[in-house]
Structure 1
Amino acid sequence: MNVKHLAVALMCAGAMTTTAQASTVTYAGTQYDIGGTFFPGGGPADANAYVVAGWRGSDVAKTHDLDSNNTYGSAGYAMFGTRFDYPNANATGGNAFVNPTDNSVFPNLIDLPNWVSGSQILASRKAGGWGYALIDDPQLTNGPRDFTWGASQTPASVFQPPYVKLGILDGTGTPSGADGVGAPAERWSFTLGADAPEVFRVGVMTDGLDSTNWAPSEVRISSSLGGGQVSTGTVTKNRFIDMHFFDIVGGQSGETFTFYAFNPGGGSAGISGFTFEIPEPVSATLVGLATIVVTVGQRRSRC
């Protein structure tokens, strides 16, 4: 979804939008199966390059990239329970009961925008090391993927770009105690600081796990200023990596946004990470006009 489409979507947000004072939150859509429909394959890397899902690589189409550089997380990202093993990506076994705040074996990779003043993990645990998908290492890939990276490793690998194995935040939500199955469970929150952009997009990474049972069938977001929860609605799960996007317009300094995972009838509803995007500067006026139209339209009529 480019910025012109964003403006139209904002003008027609209607039932999928919640307003909290000057803040507006809208579900912007989902990109399913990023990089293609494939399960983790290949390896060990020095024998046969691993397949890596290109959520950061600009060679993979990004249908909901707000700044049009074909890379998700250009303004910031947060990943949880990751694992890097080379050349055997599966050398470390799985652990479903890892301290969520951080762990040297299954680290969190966090690089947030300077206009985010803080963040908080709201899940009771995280899981990593299982047969989850390999994805671009965000510390080494931000645009073109380096398919010669493996050649400089020991042992050398041919055509292997940088990778990490994703992990998930799961368990119960620590504020409410919800398990994600009977009720939506909190997973993570962030708070805006000064100089937050008028509009930005947050992506939520799910699926890509060793079973569809552990991925949420719905993702939600709420604001500390009120207005209720905005939902993706029911999403498809098929073990290929998906990203769900929410647009936030007019966020206030000190406003906190909380994300929830819901998986009725399934497992513990794990979320792997979050991304931040801001629109191209040339489109700021267009987005501002769309925001005004949304506010007026909510008072007067429906699209």
Structure 2
Amino acid sequence: MSRISGVYLSRSLDLAALFDETVGRLAPDLDLRPPERIDDPATVRFAVCWEPADDAFDAYPNLGMAASIAAGIDGILAVPSLPDIPVTRVRDPEQARIMAGHVVWNVLWWHRRFGERLAFQAARRWERLSHHAPSTVTIGILGFGLMGRAAAEALLPLGFRVVGWARTTRGAIDGVPLETGADGLDRVVAEADFLINLLPLTEATRGLLGADLFAKMPKGAVLIQVGRGAHLDEAALLAALDDGRLGGASLDVFAVEPLPADHPLWSHPKVLVTAHDAAEAGFETIVASIAEDARRLVAGQPLLGEVPRDRGY
């Protein structure tokens, strides 16, 4: 039986080094190679992608699928050479739980004032700090897909009040009022002591986290940004932190990555930086998901991970 030919496409990661062992172990029916090892580009049926170059797809006339190794596909949709083919993503409940843990940790970091506590310890200073009961704290979650729901379900048992905003109310869960539309966004933002961004990146959400939105937030509110770097106007965030409108920000994604060493976000006293590692899907999950859709592709069956390209998520 012939193997299904695929190509790794990335301008920033050595995908072969990352995935070859797992592919060989879990999906030996896939023949996945980097571009320089492809013998006949016309035989390649699918691409495994992370930040492909602008011309990455040009060499492969018979591609039937572009597979993201992550939950988002915006980095693929932005590539000019992408042909009119299905684009798939990974949906991993375990990754969603990891993201929920990251979100909860950051909420507690700011809510319980751990930055100040560390400074007190370094100064050998014994001082008690006050904090608000969780029941008096409202957490707004922008984006209520797999990740957003997991974050809400992790925060609710701690006693926080959680509200959400999404394109539709389809993913609503008990205990979380879910708003939609521009007016709904305003309502969520206006009462969010913590605002967690888990939105997909689309033209409608690009730049959403900017001066207008920050002006509607409660004074001293905290932003937890784990969506996409292009959601955030970093200059507007710095201004909101400096003038006291916002009390803090936890940032995992940035407009330019790696974050330049001279960027003011690194040293801002109200900012906590992580290196776009809030949550990653496991290699086994990624390979299993892509392999199943590659098999479905050649069998003419619907792809399980396909994302509507017009919607972008």
State whether TM-score is above 0.5: no
- Please give the TM-score of this superposition, normalised by the length of structure 2: 0.27
Larger Cα-atom Rg: 2
